[in-house]
Structure 1
Amino acid sequence: MDPTVVINTLDEEEQKPAKPAEMLVFDDSAHLNKVLMNLNKLRKNKQFCDVVLHVGSGQDMHEIYAHRAVVASVSPYLFELLAQKTKGTLQNQCKINGNFDISAFERLVDYAYTSRLEVPKSKMKAMYLAAAKLKVHPVTKYCGKYLVEHLTPDNCTGVRAILVESMDQELVAEVDAYLRENIAEVVKSKELQSLPHIQVELVQHSSIEMDATNNKHLCHMVLDWMRSSFDQEGVLMETLTEKVHMLYLNLDRTLHDCNDIETGDAKDTELIQDYKRLSRRLSQPKGSKTKGRSGITTPAKPRQFLYTRSDSSGSSSDEEDRDWKIIATTSTGAHSTMGLAVVSGTMIVLSVVQRLNGPANNGDSSPEVCSTTAGYTTMPPMMSSRCGMGTAEFQGRLLVCGGYDRGECLRTVEAYNLATNRWSSLASMQTPRGRVDATVLHGLVYVIGGSDGSKELASAEVFNGSSWSTLPPMPVARSNTGVCNLDNKVFVVGGWNGKRGLSCCDIFDPLTKTWSSAAPMLLGRYQAGVACLNREVYAVGGCDSWTCVASVEKYNPITNTWTEVASLQNARRGCGVVEYNGKLYAVGGHDGVRSLCSVEVYDAQTNSWSPGPSLTSCRANVGVAVVGSRLFAVGGFNGKAFLNTVEFLDARTNEWTTFVAKSEAQQPVPRIAEDDRDSSREGSAEECR
């Protein structure tokens, strides 16, 4: 055969695409490892290396030979650096800025070639920092996990510092959780001696105030004072750590330096005068001299109140400021607290001691200039933590019916007497009722529907002050309904039937003891706040079937129609709604993500909602009622615990408080043990639907 013909035939066969069945595949699984292994040998012998990394500074400069393609493929940081250095030419000298541990850096280069990392336990922190700076994420994750899993009271603050430096907020949160659980041991560790130490003394006017003080809230208020000092007065960390700061509680519910107390004031005792003299010797600048508020203002976010018993951290719509926070606190004595905090991005040790302020040295103090807080005491908590309860004013007292605590629906009833500052038990309802509402009409308390823990209820009952009686059942069993009274009748609006939100509106006539139906709402909703304003019924927020809504509608009994009005600024369910001073107040609630501290106020004349004063504790499924001139917020769920606490809106300052004048509450408040200050019970957010 002609050789030319053979060659042409082979060329034609090569030009034909190979069929899959004819394709041969050789997979050398060891090839990749061999390539890296050989590259590593070349690196160690300084062969074919196209970059020399200079790590360190001065005489401690180290040269590390490498292949830029290898190290750049492992470290995004080095990729960016080498890409900038190259600029079209192969410049093989590259200085690495940063305080790297040489041993850790070399081990990371070894890892780039071998996929294997060998780290002495003593070098784990240095390895984590080096990997984090070079953005070698698998190593960063491995080392960070190891550090968090091996926390001890002696090393936890140091570990937190390097995690903060690398901005690993997820691991920082895990360390903070460890600190909270082990703070009593952490404060004894020697490692804390290297942290800045800020010491504060709070002067108070009575042992009752000292015993009633919530130490966690006190630390948060001290943090607010420090932040104000940084922001308004330009105070430096060195200034805060050079002496013990003596503070007092001002009328505006903020802490102020005792240097602000004017000479001759009733609070200007010998103790305060000694502190002023010490401050002058240290040339400590005086504070802002703010003595109180010139007018009523609305706080942007809730203030922790010093004498509230709830330890709620208070879910807020604002993201937590990582540069200013209380991490953990622990009691170190009857009236002393120690903890860890972050102040202007720096972790510090905080010590707070409560001191009793003695009588003034001057003899001419009059009752008019006596301390504002000296004449006040705190409101006691309810006997039971509860949310989703019926709340109303009854015979001049604040009445609370049913509700639920964790998964337990309650039948108990209790009333708060403003004159004695005490809670008392009343006759229990015939049926346990959670997710229920109540109203008072002609001196009788009507409690309608709800849930007994296993099913929605159609039943209703009425209370005459001594006993409960059964009423005819509603047409539809439901829970999470809204109840109010208008034109001598009881209105039951919306609710949940176990499957969906309801739009129905039923009316009970106490005279005929019969039920009738009004026009349905425009939107089926449950957990809506319901109240009457200007002889119309309002349904505020709530949920449709699954979505939290901001819409609001009102019912006109003359036309038997519902009309949509201005929506809330924030969607909320489980808020308390009540008429107060001619306006509707929507208090607390839940936005579908968190329990709310915020309050909104509706003006019917302008058909608009505006922000109101924020609660001191966030409360979902909260009960509200107006008793006398006070708007009360009762119980609820703060996102972590069911609450037994109560607060009211002080019309004089337009702020929420748990403080009542002693002249209005003649009975003394019993001593509150440290372990009993947060008697709220923990629960899950799902239980507070």
Structure 2
Amino acid sequence: MNKEEKTSDNSVYNELRLTGEHCDAVIKVEDVEFQVHKVVLCNCTPYFRALFNRWSNRDKRIFNIPNVSPDTMQLILDHAYTGSVSVTEDNVRELLLAADQFNIDNVIRICYSFMEEQMCPENCIGIWQLTNTCFYPKLRSKAFHYITEHFEEVASCEEFLQIPVEELTDIIEKDQLIVKQESSVFEAIIRWINHLPNEREKHIVALLPKVRLAMVDMKYFLMKVITSEVVKRNLDYQSMISDVPRPILTRPRMPRSILLAMGGWSVGHPTNSIEAYDIRTNRCTNVPNDAGRPRAYHGTAFLNGYVYFIGGFDGRSYFNSVCRWDPTTHTWQEVAPMYYRRCYVSVTVLNGCIYAIGGYNGHTRLRTAEYYEPQTNQWTCIAPMHELRSDASCTTLHNKIYICGGFNGRGCLETAEYYDSQTMQWTLISPMTCQRSGVGVVACGDKVYAVGGFDGDNRLRTAECYNPGTNTWNNVASMIIPRSNFGIEVMEDLLFVVGGFNGFKNTCSVEKYNRETDEWRQVLNMDVSRSALSCCVVFGLPNMADYVPPRDPRSDSAST
């Protein structure tokens, strides 16, 4: 990829340079000479002003420039004369070092911007290390955050094998290191050591205590950790482990994302309660929310760092209002309202827009749908569904919105359909195996899951999944308890269901489903029993610590 940026137009000076007219200096790099005008280079950077005026005789004509290649000097001179520079993956690092050497702020900024855009598991360590030479705190922090947030992918790349032990230690000791399983950290250490075993085996003594060993599965611990040849050859495990403070071994790392359970119906009233679930500690935290308006039967969506609360009901009014909550500042803002009042609304995100589909306006069930663009703060109506649907649920898979079940005013529905934003049309698909109102629908893997709900007679435990490739539904394992009007989300490839109504009362139960094992397990109980809530998974928060149980206060900060 190539990035060009132009900031000025010195076309006349550049023509004179290219023809060699009125040039009064020669920049020599290795065996290559560049005819230049001193005044142009002095205008570009104070480095050349000092070189021509203070560091050499005024009559000097030829200037040897060290530590830069001819190709890079050509780019620097092109920028000095044209205000533009062509940055590529191949030249960005050398160009940045040269721009830093010559103190050309604009080229430095362009290079940093390019690196931020191109950052990936294969190059993030190199970018982080480069900021040791060219100090730029923002890029350094971003690169380090990228490493910790994508550690499992980074640890499989070639750059990771070249990292010094001090930098590896800096990375793996952080609470903010994101890994699904702590065993990934141990395996990364062993891979790094085995790359140069004779030089690196001794470092296991310093590196292994940085692994949260108490968080490692016991079977893995017994079969992989203490039986590892590297471990056995280089340390007395029992002696080493006794020297490590237990809080370090048992302290969970920070999660990549958190699941929020928001609003709903509790103890006969709507609530504005927000609870945050931390998958690392398997615990919930109550989130202060004094300003949030109580609402139930609403939808939520996380987009561009904000949580949107859409439609719903407060016991008296049916809402078309939309509120935006900033989880970083804990502040609320009203945004543009929908065209229709929507209680029992289905909400999802597609292509950077929020879709609100179906629902109940206080008088009739709806088949209408509309979407919200945050950039314009506007709602736009789309084609109506084939069915009237309130109390349905929807999700996004492969650039299509799937909506399933619901209630049409006469009965619970087993029908399902999808919306294609390219054709702007709804298409009916095979119906589910049973009627489901108050259903939870979510995409996981390459399938759409429809879970629980109400069939007109009973609250359901059953679940099924839809395969778009075959247009078929298949039953999967049933939940532990029946529930309708619950929250549903996917986090770390596990399907979570939260709260709901079990046929007799609201529940605080949370379960998770593993599609690999086709098994449901009880997770925990929330503090608040509620139904008609909505769930949302949020990520990338700079204040993630606000939403999780406290870690050890001695823990290091997220950046280094």
TM-score range, shorter chain: 0.3 to 0.5
Given the two structures, how large is their TM-score scaled by the length of structure 2?
0.48
* CA radius of gyration, larger in: 1
